[in-house]
Amino acid sequence: MFNQHDIEAMTYKELQELEVRVQHAKASREKQARIEAFEAIKLKAEEFGFDISEFTADGPAAPAKRTILPKYIDPENPDNTWTGRGRKPSWVNEFIENGGNMKEIEI
């Protein structure tokens, strides 16, 4: 178990590595907890004479995908945003072609 002194003594790189390990451990524990919860719900449904498929077709629900927030905004139309992932939207290409810099449209 870590105590406050252990964490304060860690280097930045060690803290980054620890953070990655914690994220992986959390994801693994969440997956296992979902499976256990689903099994418990399935048993409870059977106690009442139901089949779990009457309530869900997919089994344990996968964790919701997190929303990626936009990173860029169109200065001409604030309704146009882009996360910075995937192909650049036409408004970004036009902005760059007209001498714009990506830093200028960062949110």
What percent of the chain clears pLDDT 90, i.e. is strictly above it?
A: 53
Neighbours of 38 (CB within 10 A): 16
- pLDDT reported for residue 2: 65
Residues of the chain with pLDDT under 50: none
62 CB-side CA count, 13 A: 4
CA distance 85 to 70: 9
CB burial class (10 A; 0-12, 13-18, 19+) of residue 95? Answer: buried
- pLDDT reported for residue 7: 87
- pLDDT reported for residue 83: 93
**9-33 pLDDT per residue, tens:** 999 899 988 989 999 999 999 999 9
CA distance 74 to 5: 47
